[in-house]
Chains A and B, each alone.
Chain A
Amino acid sequence: MTDAAEPLTTMEFHPQPQPGEAQPWAFPAPDRGTLPNGLTVLRCHRPGQQVVAVEVSLDAPLDTEPEGLDGVATIMARALSEGTDKRSAEEFAAELERCGATLDAHADHAGVRVSLEVPVSRLLKALGLLAEALRAPAFADSEIERLVRNRLDEIPHEMANPGRRAAKELYKQLFPAELRISRPRLGTEETVSRIDSAAVRAFFEAHVRPATATAVVVGDLAGVDVDAVLAETLGDWSGDSGAPRPVPAISGDDSGRVVIVDRPGAVQTQLLIGRVGADRHDRVWPAQVLGTYCLGGTLTSRLDRVLREEKGYTYGVRAFGQVLRSAADGAGASLLGISGSVDTPNTGPALDDLWKVLRTLAADGLTDAERDVAVQNLVGVAPLKYETAASVAGTLADQVEQHLPDDYQAQLYVRLAETGTVEATAAVVNAFPEGRLVTVLVGDAAQIEEPVRALGIGEVTVVSG
């Protein structure tokens, strides 16, 4: 009933309840071993997780792609599931789906990752198919030609996406052109069109072998003889031994500047602000995770508190630290960034507010209350975040690729809990210094250029969309 005079609240109110006693939870420790063929295997039993996740990490980072063939790692990764010595591409896809499985592969700066998910009842069959793909991919001319054409067709779609377009520009701005990391992960029209089956096979032969690969297997493995399953499948993959590979030095130019990628008529401006950050091995990492969360981890963080919840300029702006390459000696790099979309007329005011948030943070620091809530969230959500097999497997495989110990994530939670307000403040202020940020804006230059210029956050250039 909608009587305007009715009291607004008629219920019985109770004080906010106090939490019960926390249950212990720890990030799972995997069992690490090596198969006779040299393949490293991490396994982890997660009761109740009926869909098993398998992640295979191949030591084939993008910087090993031959000159002028950017994208060959991606085409190789995709071609792994396009036929083997025993099955055509269509037959392989059909067999895999008959298992109720999904198989994805992608190439990134740290290496190639192949991800399998399958109900545990069909694990043996699906792992057999995965092993077949790694051991004897067909790389048929016709399939590679098709994948190359398909990849070329994808490029205009990615260019049209404001977020992807912004990222492409930021990497180009931040890193010198000769570094692989400055260029699109999946290659350009020019480089992709040069790729053929010979190039794919050569890349495969140079970089894919069990001795430099790691398989992570996570799920409810209670009823599975994992040793026998592995011996029959991935254990049957052979290859020579490989040498450890140094991570190339990464340098970047983060002098403060603004690049507008012109999109006439765009109703929003996609913003991506970034700079080069430290390797994940750096001791600052836990404090930086904490401080970055306080700056822009969620809609109650500093950025959204102003840009979204006070001003309504955006659906949400996030700050993040993303590992690009990580090396045991700390020579790797990460991307520290802030991203989101703001409506076109408010682009100038939104950036003005964003910079004010950074300046206020640098001047006054984080509060103890902010730090406490951030720790409680980051540490507290761990059991939720790692409920599924796929999430656990993904993190374990990331650690392997990033040359981190198997207990890194578990230790990270300990470090986060120990990190104080002062440390977190210092880390985030150093991560996002207002004068050393490269700002990429994908939007309508005619409308946003002047207001952005007026902010004085760096030289402004406009490039075509």
Chain B
Amino acid sequence: MPMGHTATAQAGSGGLTATEHRLANGLRVVLSEDHLTPVAAVCLWYDVGSRHEVKGRTGLAHLFEHLMFQGSKQVSGNGHFELVQGAGGSLNGTTSFERTNYFETMPTHQLELALWLEADRMGSLLAALDEESMENQRDVVKNERRQRYDNVPYGTAFERLTALSYPEGHPYHHTPIGSMADLDAATLDDARAFFRTYYAPNNAVLSVVGDIDSARTLAWIEKYFGSISSHDGKQPPRDGSLPENIGRELREVIEEEVPARALMAAYRLPHDGTRECDAVDIALTILGGGESSRLHNRLVRRDQTAVAAGFGLLRLAGAPSLGWLDVKTSGGVEVPQIESAVDEELARFAEEGPTPEEMERAQAQLEREWLDRLSTVAGRADELCRYAVLFGDPQLALTAVDRVLGVTADEVRAIAKARLRPDNRAVLVYEPVSADPQAESAQDDQTDAEDGADQ
């Protein structure tokens, strides 16, 4: 086997190990054996996301991801889905700012099929791509946009805050779903050019995790992927760097038909992959992660001014990460009251830092979340690809939890003081309009009907 490079296994957290390999065409491969359950996960990350899109073609990376399920040279129509599901596998693809991923989890004895399918579309998608698929998936994606964003209260908050946080022209100014106008404008030629530019073995990382024989798996990968030619059409994404702090508060008030006032904000935070990013993760967990967080205790338990209050972290490697504040107000409470309470809590935290108990709780929560991610072969495969694509080293996935546990209280306080400030955020305020609040006696119910979120 003409393998370019083979690294040996090294110890990782929880006894997990991964080996790295590279085909002559540049495809990077990461393998990790685990024989506890007869399943194997295949995960393929292409180093292309919405940050690579150009003005007038937002949403193209995600629309293209849909087209990857429309057949290739040896796979007809929906054959990719049909073959994987018919083999007892599950599959999907997703698109973010920074990458597009495709994954299949298979019963062990069907692993080779998933590799064959991924190779077929990496090498020969354009043999099957046609106007009919393009028109159909354009409509599907527009309905995805309506269902997930446009027809949901507060549904466009993420898009609006992102646009506020990253200036016009910045590669992260728009979100992966794209605009309706740009989705309408995309052409078959755009899709073909996109494939020729970004879908190459040397722009991808393939990981296979689970009940596998590494040597045999590597031989299959060489057989199916090895003859796909590499190419170098890709330009680096536009520069995503920005000053550490915004320097002033950005603000937008939305008057819309929403059920309650809301205060949302995005804080500009350190890039993923840095120690400061892990530190701010802990800070946000203490401030707004879960039922013992400072904001929950203050706004939901004590002041009782909010229905829910929390912080999330959107980790980004190619641009500043975003710290996501979301507070929905209770009853007739006004936003300024919430906002001053939030600012007070953040200022206090910046001055005093976390207590030892808070550090322990936040680190325990983050550790469990990490164990959850690693509890499935698919989760592990995705993390190995993530670290390989974004940071050049899949082994970092195996030690990520140790890095979070190594952060000190001083580091947490320092990053909070530097970044969690009013002049470093974009704020979105929702004020409900019209509505006839007495539509009828308010009730609710639910079914566990699964909406079609397959792609």
* A contacts, CB < 8 Å to B: 1-2, 8-14, 16-17, 19-25, 47-51, 81, 89-90, 93-94, 96-102, 117-119, 122, 146, 149-150, 153-164, 167-168, 170-172, 183-186, 188-190, 266-268, 270, 272, 274, 298-300, 304-305, 308-318, 320, 322, 335, 337, 339-343, 372-373, 376-377, 379-384, 387-389, 463-465
Contact = CB atoms under 8 A, between A and B. Distances in A.
A101 B368 contact: yes
Contacts of B146: 267-268, 341, 343
A463 B439 CA distance: 9
Contacts of B367: 100, 119
Most buried by A among B112, B452, B454: B452
Interface in B355-400: 357, 360-361, 364-365, 367-368, 371-372, 375-377
A190 B441 contact: yes
Nearest to B446: A167
B438 to A, nearest CB: 10
Given A9-B73, A312-B143, A318-B452, A97 B364 contact: yes
Nearest to B231: A1
B96 interface: no
Among A13, A190, A305, A372, find the residue whose CB has the most chain B CB atoms closer than 10 A. Answer: A13
Contact of A98 (B36, B86, B360): B360
5 contacts: A48-B34, A161-B152, A170-B445, A313-B139, A464-B440
B107 A384 contact: yes
Interface of B: 14, 34, 36-39, 73-74, 77-78, 81-83, 85-90, 105-113, 116, 119-120, 123-124, 126-127, 135-140, 142-144, 146-148, 150-153, 193, 196-197, 211, 220, 223-224, 227-229, 231-233, 258-260, 290-292, 297, 300-301, 304, 307, 328, 330-331, 357, 360-361, 364-365, 367-368, 371-372, 375-377, 436-437, 439-455
Contact of A380 (B88, B220, B227): B88
Contacts of B139: 311-313
A315 B113 contact: no
Contacts of B37: 25, 48, 383, 387
Given A98-B361, A298-B81, A184 B38 contact: no
A373 B86 contact: yes
A122 B360 CA distance: 13
Contacts of B39: 383-384, 387
A313 B143 contact: yes
A384 B89 contact: yes
Contact of A14 (B116, B193, B197): B116
B390 to A, nearest CB: 25
A93 B292 CA distance: 5
Given A162-B151, A317-B452, A318-B450, A312 B260 contact: no
B447 A159 contact: no
B81 A168 contact: no
A98 B365 CA distance: 7
Contact of A161 (B81, B126, B153, B454): B153
Nearest to A181: B445
Contacts of A119: 367-368, 371
Given A185-B446, A312-B136, 13 more contacts: A1-B233, A158-B442, A162-B152, A163-B451, A189-B442, A299-B452, A309-B78, A315-B452, A318-B449, A322-B447, A340-B452, A387-B37, A388-B376
B258 A160 contact: yes
A58 to B, nearest CB: 20
Q: Is the interface of A mostly helix, strand, loop or mixed?
A: mixed
B186 to A, nearest CB: 14
A188 B364 CA distance: 37
A119 B375 CA distance: 11
A299 B228 CA distance: 29
A9 B116 contact: no
Nearest to B307: A153
A19 B113 contact: yes
A184 to B, nearest CB: 4
A17 B116 contact: yes
Contact of A49 (B375, B445, B455): B375
Given A21-B109, A337-B447, A315 B38 contact: no
Given A1-B196, A312-B137, A340 B451 contact: yes
A308 to B, nearest CB: 6
Given A2-B197, A159-B442, A93 B291 contact: yes
Nearest to B233: A1
A160 B147 CA distance: 14
Nearest to A314: B143
A428 B232 CA distance: 52
Contact of A298 (B436, B443, B454): B454
Given A9-B124, A19-B87, A155 B442 contact: yes
B292 A322 contact: no
A184 B444 contact: yes
A22 B361 CA distance: 43
Among B82, B119, B328, B442, residue most surrounded by chain A Cβ atoms (within 10 Å):
B442
